[in-house]
């Protein structure tokens, strides 16, 4: 394994902690996946890109990551509490579909959008409906511990009883007394001993669409229980990293911790990581606010708030330019700046790939240049080791990019770096952009041959002094987002930044 001292901000301790895998080189990571009842939006993209980058960086460090991200296809009720309709069943009724048709449709579209963002697939992607027996077994185990009770075919977790031996609220910092006094007595809560108790299993009314037999009658599992069942099944009763959006910290993750402790007498995960939220022009994103943007709308530009389409890699790059624990504000201005930055990096990637060490005669090693390159490389990795600070790492990559561009234009000599440092510069830049940050060059199959052909015609027109033709080709390429790089000894192209 590479010797890096990785630090991770642990929401549980509210500190950056040195990362120690439970069983190196293996790392178990569970991330709460989508509830599949609608198109993926920015709120789905951020955790997907964040934990994909965590996965990529851990893999770069030679950890062997088992990344489990679930699909919630039952039990997630409106308002994220124990009342209201199941989100998927509600959509199924509206569209006159089977709930599983809804789940399948939006699982497929989620996969399509996450692939566009170049996120690696999880190692295991379990579905809640495929783990009903495991969930029933967990309810039985919690009942056997005396930390749950059954009422009218529903089973609730007894938070007060649990809190006698453990600490409910330790992840989110919520105080139990305040939670109790702040709880409203909502519909269905009459069954609970205390309004802070949460459902492990809910009795299903006859009209309920998704339901299963259980020792307590026909019903369906609670949302929080699903993640405990699937994470413990595939990663064990204690694993390394549990991730998700900050909005899931309470009650969802708090309840997962309670369930894990109730069954196994230990916290389910060592490190709890939470990505921050996304705002749109400074406002919280919400359907009722009219600023809810799906990824497909971003990719096509088909939304009243968008001035243009933004490519998947522009979105990915944009997310990486902020640290995952900072809020990220979407605006056309910020996205256009991200598009420029992304294109700069990709132009650098193309150049870096094309460069081969070819020493000039008579040039000496330039210690200052070497030292600048070495320190930018070290700083980029230090940033990643410091709680995956992609924002800072990208800043250092731009310093490396300057050196790459200078080599390309001949201002910086290969000989002044020497072969070892040149290769280190080239390899680090490529590895960082492609493997760690997961940024790809977005292009069609025919792009390279078409551009070569056009540049050949450009060059012939230039030789023939047909400057109208030269200008026409230049303008045509520009309209397609490419610039002609007409240099002394060569003609090349680049993405317009």
Please give the residue ranges that form the binding site for Zn ion (CB under 5 A): 32, 227
Give whichever of 33 and 438 is closer to Zn ion, judged by the CB atom.
33
State in angstroms the smallest separation of the CB of 238 from Zn ion.
Answer: 16
Shorter beta-carbon distance to Zn ion: residue 46 or 413: 46
Closest approach of Zn ion to the CB of residue 39, in Å? 20
Contact 62, 2 (CB under 8 A): yes
Distance CA 33, CA 230 (A): 11
Q: Residues 136, 140, 146, CA angle at the centre, nearest 5°?
A: 145
Give me the residue label for tokens 């600048």: 372
- Residues 71 and 40: their CA atoms lie apart, in Å, by 13
State yes or no: 32 annotated in a binding site.
Answer: yes
**CB of 170: closest distance to Zn ion in angstroms?**
17
Tell me if 256 sits within 8 A of 249, measured CB to CB: no
Q: To the nearest whole angstrom, how small is the minimum distance from the Cβ of residue 259 to Zn ion?
A: 11
> In the complex with Zn ion, which residue's Cβ is closer, 32 or 273?
32
Cβ proximity to Zn ion: between 227 and 263 the closer is 227
**Residue appearing with tokens 């790392």:** 27
Long-range contacts from 157-161, C-beta under 8 angstroms, 24+ separation: 157/197, 157/198, 157/199, 157/200, 157/255, 157/258, 157/259, 157/262, 158/193, 158/194, 158/197, 159/194, 159/196, 159/197, 159/198, 159/258, 160/193, 160/194, 160/196, 160/197
93 is in an annotated binding site: no
> Does 252 count as an annotated binding residue?
yes
Of 126 and 195, nearer to Zn ion (C-beta) is 126
Q: CB nearer to Zn ion: give 196 or 227.
A: 227
Q: d(Cα 374, Cα 165) in Å, to the nearest integer?
A: 52
Instruction: State how far the Cα of 346 lies from the Cα of 353, in Å rounded to an integer.
Output: 10
Q: Which is nearer to Zn ion, 247 or 442 (CB)?
A: 247
Q: How far apart are CB 73 and Zn ion at their closest, in Å?
A: 13
User: How far, in Å, CA of 52 to CA of 249, rounded?
Assistant: 19
**Which strands sit side by side in the sheet containing 239-245, from one edge to the other?**
64-69, 26-31, 239-245, 269-275
What does the radius of gyration of the chain's CA atoms come to, in whole angstroms? Answer: 27
Closest approach of Zn ion to the CB of residue 271, in Å = 16
Helices (H) and strands (E) in the chain, counts: 16, 15
Is the distance from CB of 64 to CB of 27 less than 8 angstroms?
yes
Rounded to the nearest whole angstrom, what is the least distance from the CB of residue 222 to Zn ion in the complex? Answer: 11
Question: Is 32 or 200 the residue whose CB approaches Zn ion more closely?
Answer: 32
Copy the structure tokens of residue 363: 């040039």
Least distance to Zn ion, CB of residue 227, Å: 3
**Can you name the residues that pair with 447 across neighbouring β-strands?**
none
- Nearest alpha carbon to residue 231 among 258, 209, 260: 260
Rounded to whole angstroms, the Cα distance separating 229 from 374 reads 47
Q: Least Å distance between CB 274 and Zn ion?
A: 12
Pick 260 or 341: Cβ nearer Zn ion: 260
- Is 256 annotated for ligand binding? yes
Given the complex with Zn ion, which of 65 and 227 has the nearer CB atom? 227
As a whole number of angstroms, the distance between CA 74 and CA 327 comes to 29
- Residue by residue, DSSP assigns 311-330 as -HHHHHHHHHTS-TTS-EEE
* Whether 373 contacts 429, CB under 8 Å: no
Sign (positive or negative) of CA dihedral 315, 316, 321, 324:
positive
Q: How far is the CB of 98 from Zn ion (least distance, A)?
A: 24
Q: How far is the CB of 318 from Zn ion (least distance, A)?
A: 26
Cβ proximity to Zn ion, 12 vs 454, nearer residue: 12
β-strand 278-280 against 328-330: which pairing, if any?
A: parallel
Q: Is 16 marked as a binding-site residue?
A: no
> Annotated binding site: which residue ranges?
32, 227, 252, 256, 287
> Annotated binding site for Zn(2+): which residue ranges?
32, 227, 252, 256
């Amino acid at each position: 394994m590479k010797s890096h001292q990785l630090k991770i901000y642990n929401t549980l301790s509210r500190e950056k902690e040195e990362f120690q895998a439970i069983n190196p080189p293996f790392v178990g990571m569970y991330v709460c996946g989508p509830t599949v009842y609608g198109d993926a939006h920015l709120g789905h993209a951020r955790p997907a890109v964040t934990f994909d980058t965590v996965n990529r960086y851990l893999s770069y460090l030679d950890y062997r990551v088992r990344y489990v991200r679930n699909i919630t296809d039952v039990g997630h009720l409106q308002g994220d509490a124990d009342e209201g309709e199941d989100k998927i069943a509600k959509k199924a009724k509206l569209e006159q579909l089977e709930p599983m048709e809804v789940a399948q449709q939006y699982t497929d579209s989620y996969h399509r959008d996450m692939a566009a963002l170049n996120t690696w697939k999880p190692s295991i992607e379990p579905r809640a409906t495929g783990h009903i027996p495991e969930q029933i077994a967990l309810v039985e185990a919690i009942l056997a511990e005396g930390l749950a009770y059954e009422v009218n075919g529903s089973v609730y977790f007894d938070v007060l009883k649990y809190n006698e031996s453990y600490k409910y609220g330790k992840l989110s910092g919520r105080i139990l007394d305040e939670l109790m006094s702040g709880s409203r007595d909502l519909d269905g809560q009459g069954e609970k001993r205390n309004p802070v108790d949460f459902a492990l299993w809910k009795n299903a009314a006859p009209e309920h669409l998704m339901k299963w037999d259980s020792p307590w009658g026909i019903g369906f599992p609670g949302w929080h229980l699903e993640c405990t069942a699937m994470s413990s099944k595939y990663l064990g009763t204690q694993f390394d990293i549990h991730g998700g959006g900050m909005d899931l910290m309470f009650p969802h993750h708090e309840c997962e911790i309670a369930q894990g402790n109730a069954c196994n007498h230990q916290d389910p995960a060592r490190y709890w990581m939470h990505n921050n939220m996304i705002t749109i022009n400074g406002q919280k994103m919400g359907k009722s606010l009219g600023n809810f943007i799906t990824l497909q709308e971003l990719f096509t530009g088909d939304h009243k708030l968008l001035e243009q389409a933004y490519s998947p890699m522009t979105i990915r790059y944009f997310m990486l330019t902020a640290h995952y624990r900072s809020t990220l504000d979407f605006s056309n201005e910020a996205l256009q700046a991200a598009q420029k930055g992304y294109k700069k990096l990709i132009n650098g990637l193309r150049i870096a790939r094309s460069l081969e060490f070819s020493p000039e005669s008579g040039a000496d090693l330039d210690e200052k240049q070497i030292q600048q390159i070495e320190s930018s490389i070290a700083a980029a990795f230090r940033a990643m080791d410091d709680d995956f600070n992609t924002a800072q790492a990208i800043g250092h990559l731009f310093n490396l990019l300057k050196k790459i561009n200078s080599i390309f234009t001949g201002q910086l000599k290969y000989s002044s770096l020497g072969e070892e440092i040149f290769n280190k510069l080239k390899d680090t830049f490529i590895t960082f952009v492609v493997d760690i940050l997961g940024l790809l060059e977005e292009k069609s199959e025919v792009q390279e041959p078409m551009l070569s052909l056009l540049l050949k015609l450009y060059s012939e027109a230039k030789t023939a002094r047909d400057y109208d033709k030269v200008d026409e080709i230049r303008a045509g390429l520009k309209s397609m987002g490419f610039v002609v790089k007409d240099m002394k000894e060569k003609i090349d192209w680049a993405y317009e930044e």
